[in-house]
Amino acid sequence: MENDLKNRNAKGFWWKRFFYSVTGATNDYELGPNWFASVMGTGIIANAAASLPLFSNKLHSFALIVWCLASFMLIGLVLATCALSLKTQNAWKKHFNDPMMAQFYGAPPMAMLTVAGGTLLLGDNFLGQEFAHQITWALWFIGTITGLGSAIIIPYRLFTKFKVRPDSAFGGWLMPVVPPMVSAAIGAMLVPYTPVGVLRETMFYLCFSMFGLSLVTALIIISMIWSRLAHHGTSGTSRVPTLWIVLGPLGQSMTAAGILGTVAEGAVPSHIAHGFEMFTVLYSVPVFGFVLLWTCIATLLTIRARRRQMRFALTYWAFTFPVGTCVTGIAQLAHHTGLPLFKWASIFYYIGLLTAWAVAAFGTTKGMITGHLFRPPPSSVPPIISVKESHDPCDNEVNT
């Protein structure tokens, strides 16, 4: 009987493991900020469906269901996080001091902002227009403030505390600096609902400022990631999916630029508004080209890692939200140009988003059932080392 109980506990029930992670009843299970990436990846499906230049009307009911799912996921994770923080305060403190996990403190703000966008796009019929707008404003304010905090505090700790190897740059470094770009996109959607005059114009320029804040920082980090790949190669581990995060600030910047170009009329003087409309196309078309390039590179590197038995981890959710931002960004290009190229490209990326979500959701569900996703990593894990393929023993020696 005792052996049977041990076997059952070893296999475990996911709800027990989740309960332990929430209540802090044992130190063997914990919940980190990276879990909020699942809300981002789920919510963006609804937002992208509502933004598609084709078939969006037919997908309205589907988008509404997915938005409800993302909203419940956000509420559940917030409650679980609060309960865990009260029970075991050292867990999130440990994450805050971890050079890898700390980067994912940008995920909770983006999760709130993603749900805020879905609330504005889809929540009118479900919640009523006034209540939906109140929720959107509240989530936008909280997400923006916490997102700006992550964009300042986490890089500061990266510069002053975290030990960084020459091959340490990875897609996760973008996580704390992308939230202001998401705030810019969702905030731009709120510009028409801001009182006319100084407040609306201030809101418009505030969103454009956050656009610049995130874009410049993201370009620096993307350059560092490219440099790391060129000099050191890839690790072939579950860190590889984070390369897809590069698409996040690119797609989201196209989205923000498109929406700002749309709402500029009525927010700023007409001669300036015309400039923003032009900027939408002049900026987004070149970025679209790089998006296509990076999609191909990230796909090849991911296939390479899978052939080397890359294990599932929560980093698989990096396949979802960044691709979703490409859908919304390309959809904005389609709106401003009317070209079929961009309309069908957004559909192509949306199909990729749905596929990626299915893979990430399946792996996460399986990991919850087995319980291994709730377990903290061993304290004595060796650092992840990037290695290139080489037939020269001297090159191998240098890379390792």
Average pLDDT over residues 102-131: 93
Q: Is residue 12 part of a domain?
A: no
Confirm whether 25 is domain-assigned. no
| CA pair distance 186, 256, nearest whole angstrom | 8
257 in a domain, yes or no?
A: yes
Please compute Rg for the chain using Cα positions: 21
At residue 379, the pLDDT reads 53
**pLDDT grade for 386, boundaries at 50, 70 and 90:** low
Count the domains in the chain.
1
Residue 26 falls within a domain, yes or no? no
238-256 confidence digits (pLDDT tens): 788 999 999 999 999 999 9
Here the CATH number for the domain that contains residue 300 is 1.50.10.150
Reported as a pLDDT band with limits 50, 70 and 90, residue 119 is very high
Mean pLDDT of 119-137: 92
268 phi and psi angles, rounded to 5 deg:
-130, 165
Is residue 295 pLDDT above 90, yes or no?
A: yes
Query: Could you tell me if 10 and 19 are in contact, meaning their C-beta atoms sit under 8 angstroms apart?
Result: no
Residue 181 lies in domain: 32-378
* AA letter at 81: T
Q: What is the pLDDT of residue 253?
A: 97
In a domain, 392, yes or no: no
Is residue 83 pLDDT above 70, yes or no? yes
Q: What is the mean predicted confidence (pLDDT) over 135-152?
A: 97
More confidently predicted of 378 and 299? 299
- Which residue type occupies 156? Y
Q: What is the rounded average pLDDT of the residues 63-74?
A: 96
| pLDDT reported for residue 12 | 44
Q: Vertex 245, ends 340 and 282: CA angle to 5°? A: 40
- pLDDT the model gives residue 296: 97
Q: Provide the 10 A C-beta neighbour count for residue 210.
A: 24
Whether 331 maps to a domain, the answer reads yes
Average pLDDT of span 34-45 = 95
With respect to residue 15, please indicate whether it lies within any of the assigned structural domains.
Answer: no
Residue 5 has pLDDT above 70, yes or no: no
Does the pLDDT at position 13 exceed 50? no
Alpha carbons 4 and 150: distance in angstroms, whole number: 46
- The length of the chain, given as a count of residues: 400
